[in-house]
Amino acid sequence: MIFLSLTTETGFGVNNFIYFFSTPYLTQALFRSLILASVSTLIAGVISWPLAYFVVFCVKEKWRPLFLLAILAPFWTSFTIRAFSWQLVLSDNGVISWLIEKATGSSVALGILYTMNASIFGLALFGSMLCTFTLYGALVSIDKKLVEAASTLGARPYQIFRDIILPLGLPGWLAGIVLSFIVCIGDYAVPTLLGGGLKPVLAQIMLSILKGTYDLSQAATIATILAVTVIICASPLLFFRLFKRRRASA
């Protein structure tokens, strides 16, 4: 249904696409979407390792779900509200700059809010929840006997990590990366509330088209381009997973 609507709307000709790629405003937005999503996802991916590692290996088995929930809890509450709550903290007269002012006695303009960095920060935090969740699933199912055997044979913690945990955790981690990239590239709330409206990403432009100028075919064009982008970016990782699984079962 979704794809049908997208193709019929844009199927009249490639004019829409020519318009898209000849408009710097739009191509820049696409580029910005890509950078924002990849950088945030990368950061999220890095953060997720120690987090999942802590929950799986440092916490008693009984308490694991509780710690996981503590990390995941904000995930199922409103996106918008969380993005907005960061405004309160990051803004030039927000909590952080107030704290700095109290500590140093001089007032500083933080200048973080309404920049790309703020968007990246917000999205990375969100993505890290997703990554941690999928990585947790992979790490929890690692057979204890493997680790014990390795250790009996004299493997040090680092070796155990490199030879057992890393390869076994990788599929879960990759799934998290793909999911987080998809969420980040389609997000509108964080870029609007933290990144500001001056340098919009594609999702923001789509939102404003649908509620503003109401140019449906253009919205469909942008949506198609975004969908293709997601597929292109996600497919290498999925292929990698498939390939891995084939090899494992062979």
Partner 1 sequence: MRDLIVNRPVFILLTAFFCVVLSIIYMPILVMIIFSFNSGRYQTLPFREPTFEWYVNLVADSSFVDSFFTSLFMASLASLAATALGFFAAYAFSKAKIPFYSLFFGLILSPLVIPIILIGIGMRLQIVSVGIEPALWLVLVGQTLYVLPLAVINLKNRIDKIPKSIEEAGISLGSSKLHLIVFILVPICAPTIFATILLTFTFSFDEFVIAYFLTNFEITLPIKIWTSLVTGFEPKINAAGSAVFLFSLILGFIAQFILLFKQSEKQNGIEPREM
Residues 37-76 that bind partner 1 (CB under 8 A): 47, 50-51, 53-55, 57-58, 65, 67-74, 76
Given phi > 0 = left and psi -120 to 50 = alpha, else beta, which region is 105? left
CB 83 within 8 A of CB 122: yes
Q: How far is the CB of 250 from partner 1 (least distance, A)?
A: 18
Q: Which is nearer to partner 1, 14 or 99 (CB)?
A: 99
Residue tagged 């969380």 (tokens):
82
Q: How far is the CB of 91 from partner 1 (least distance, A)?
A: 8
Contacts of partner 1 in 201-240 (CB under 8 A): 203, 206-207, 210-211, 216, 219-220, 223, 226-227, 230, 234
Among the listed ranges 23-31, 38-46, 90-98, 106-114, the one in contact with partner 1 (CB under 8 A) is 90-98
Q: Confirm or reject binding of residue 183 to partner 1 (CB under 8 A).
A: yes
Q: How far is the CB of 75 from partner 1 (least distance, A)?
A: 8
Q: Which is nearer to partner 1, 5 or 23 (CB)?
A: 5
**Among positions 9, 137, 199, 244, the unique one binding partner 1 when judged by CB under 8 A:** 9
**Binding residue count for partner 1, defined by CB under 8 A:** 78
Q: How far is the CB of 28 from partner 1 (least distance, A)?
A: 19
Q: How far is the CB of 247 from partner 1 (least distance, A)?
A: 19
CA pair distance 33, 205, nearest whole angstrom? 11
Q: How far is the CB of 22 from partner 1 (least distance, A)?
A: 22
DSSP string, 152-206: HTT--HHHHIIIIIHHHHHHHHHHHHHHHHHHHHT--HHHHHTT-SSS--HHHHH
CB 6 within 8 A of CB 223: yes
CB 203 within 8 A of CB 187: yes
Contacts of partner 1 in 125-144 (CB under 8 A): 125, 128-129, 144
CA pair distance 84, 192, nearest whole angstrom? 10
Q: Which two tokens stand for residue 187?
A: 């997000």
Q: How many CB atoms lie within 10 A of CB 28?
A: 13
Q: Which is nearer to partner 1, 39 or 137 (CB)?
A: 137
Given phi > 0 = left and psi -120 to 50 = alpha, else beta, which region is 154? left
Q: How far is the CB of 154 from partner 1 (least distance, A)?
A: 11
Q: Confirm or reject binding of residue 36 to partner 1 (CB under 8 A).
A: no
